[in-house]
Amino acid sequence: MIKVFVPRDAAALSVGADEVAAAIAKEAKSRNLDIQIVRNGSRGMLYLEPLVEVEMPGGRVAYGPVAPSDVTSLFDAKFYEGKAHALSHGPTEEIPYFKNQERLTFARCGITDPLSIEDYRAHGGYVGLSKALHMKPIDIVTEVTNSGLRGRGGAGFPTGIKWKTVHDLPGAEKYVVCNADEGDSGTFADRMLMEGDPFCLIEGMTIAAVAGGATRGYIYVRSEYPHAVHVLREAIEIARKANWLGDNIQGTKYAFDLFVRMGAGAYICGEETSMLESIEGKRGIVRYKPPIPAIEGLFGKPSIINNVMSFAAVPIIMTEGGEFYKNYGVGRSRGTLAFQIAGNIKQGGLVEKAFGVTTRQLIEDWGGGTATGRPVRAVQVGGPLGAYIPESKFDVPMDYEEFAKVDAMVGHGGLVVFDDTVDMAKQARFAMEFCAIESCGKCTPCRIGSTRGVEVIDRIIDDVDRSKNLALLQDLCVTMADGSLCAMGGLTPFPVMSALRGFPEDFHKPSPNKFLADAAE
């Protein structure tokens, strides 16, 4: 029997993976070929999606991007024997885009059937948890601390310290909460992992539960990710049946159960305290800190709260040891980060790489430049609240501290590339507009400041008292950065100020509304 892989990842589906799979099944039937189609996760080479792979004795061979209309010619060329075709890329794992990565968290993604727990175990799954179940909880915490893992959601807070806080607190009611509200533009790593290797996240959260003494966990997934929600719910059910969740996990004293909660289109719910409110069935209004959520988190109880990528890094850390993980990376940024190359890019996709790689390497070596073929002008790193960096900073290594030195942030490693047609004043305006739309409204600098920000930038664009308004904008940014309750208002000035600093010429163009400028004089 021939095994053919067609991803079920939402990105692959968005460019016709289902239609391709159906066409392959139909063609195989009409040619009387015994072909089994496995719906795997994505390999992360999204520019090649739908990427069809055939299992050969020497490893898988890749074809992509495949359209349903290519299927007949693929069969004519005997792709099912790994033969050459115009869309052939040879062995998948020899494609430089893939080969030059360091896949730790995403080691299984695209290789296994996401909903096969047997597949998961055959590829090293549940080794970490099996170890953890027979360790002292504090030793698990120590292992995670030693790995140097820092919160992958963007803030980069050491994961081990959070876990230790919860571990040290008394009480029987504790929670593990996964923040899967991946709302930042330019990011899709969480989604890819949840859809492509859900057991990895479930295992990581279970390890956290054992370490922290929690018995109940929640995964808060945004409603824009229906595929991820379906896969997770199914995977949790499978894990329960196989006794990897529930009471007396694998015959031990540990009990842990997991539930998926779906968000409802509120960006702010990616902020952890707002997310907690939302899981409790309330408006996603940010909470004051302290108390920190590790101490008084979900339902007021101690809670380990991490991002999908942080939890998903834990199984490999437990399997291979903290030292192994720590050996990747630079400075105080240890391990790997799943960089996401997005936007105006020729070869967009996911690149898991140790910290230290540069923006230039990612967008040139992997990304191959812009999709439009025009020069790259700006790259926004770390989501809508991350800085726009100009070409002069493309060689700064991806490292939390190095990026902070140039007033930028690595965040979750999402890169949105813009070509030279971008208008940075417009992008700065959008940052404020987005904040105005998504602010929870609790604190004044964010709620009002963002709306005033849009107005001030409009006046700058329209050349109405431009120099005064530029000064006012900077002043407003300082107020928002220093006075906001959470990162939403606190970091919105980041993209705005970075646009002002890196691309000042865009704020000094002739007004598109000439009469407004004239009227102001």
Partner 1 sequence: MAKKAAKSNGSSTAPATAATPSEVAALAVCARHGNKPDELLEIFHELQHQLGYVPEATLPVISKALNRSRAEVYGVLTFYHEFRRHPAGKHVVKICRAEACQSMGTDALCDHAERSLRTKLGGTTSDGAVTIEQVFCLGNCALSPAIMVGEKLYGKVDPKRFDEIIGSLEKEAAE
Task: Please report, as ranges, the residues that interact with partner 1 according to CB under 8 A.
Answer: 10-11, 13-15, 46-47, 49, 182-188, 191, 223-227, 261-267, 278-285, 299, 340-345, 348-350, 371, 380, 384, 414, 416-419, 422, 427, 430, 434, 437-438
- Measured from the CB atom, the residue of 116 and 185 that comes closer to partner 1 is 185
Name the strand (E) or helix (H) holding 389.
strand 388-390
Residue 434 CB, nearest approach to partner 1 (Å): 7
- Measured from the CB atom, the residue of 43 and 167 that comes closer to partner 1 is 43
Residue 349 CB, nearest approach to partner 1 (Å): 5
DSSP-assigned letters across all residues of 372-413: SSSPEEEEEESSTTSPEEEGGGTTSBS-HHHHHHTT---TT-
- The CA distance from 368 to 346, in Å, is 6
Residue 296 CB, nearest approach to partner 1 (Å): 16
DSSP label at residue 307:
E
Residue 455 has a CB neighbour count (10 Å cut-off) of 14
- The CA distance from 311 to 147, in Å, is 13
Determine what percent of the chain falls in helix, strand and coil, rounding each to the nearest 5. 45, 15, 35
Residue 11 CB, nearest approach to partner 1 (Å): 5
- Measured from the CB atom, the residue of 186 and 329 that comes closer to partner 1 is 186
Residue 514 CB, nearest approach to partner 1 (Å): 22
Residue 440 CB, nearest approach to partner 1 (Å): 8
- The CA distance from 297 to 290, in Å, is 11
**Number of C-alpha atoms within 13 angstroms, CB side, residue 470?**
14
- Measured from the CB atom, the residue of 111 and 416 that comes closer to partner 1 is 416
**Dihedral of the CA atoms 203, 319, 148, 291 (nearest 10)?**
30
Which residue intervals of 15-132 are DSSP H helices? Answer: 17-30, 71-76, 96-99, 117-122, 127-132
- Measured from the CB atom, the residue of 151 and 183 that comes closer to partner 1 is 183
**Number of C-alpha atoms within 13 angstroms, CB side, residue 153?**
22
Task: Using the structure block, give the residue that is written with the tokens 């009002």.
Answer: 448
Distance of CA 32 to the CA centre of its chain: 42
- Measured from the CB atom, the residue of 143 and 272 that comes closer to partner 1 is 272
- Measured from the CB atom, the residue of 213 and 343 that comes closer to partner 1 is 343
Q: Answer whether 387's CB lies under 8 Å from 409's CB.
A: yes
Residue 146 CB, nearest approach to partner 1 (Å): 32
Residue 3 CB, nearest approach to partner 1 (Å): 26
Q: How far apart are the first and last CA of the chain?
A: 78
Residue 319 CB, nearest approach to partner 1 (Å): 28
- Measured from the CB atom, the residue of 192 and 318 that comes closer to partner 1 is 192
Which positions ≥6 away from 320 have C-beta within 8 Å?
Answer: none
- Measured from the CB atom, the residue of 263 and 490 that comes closer to partner 1 is 263
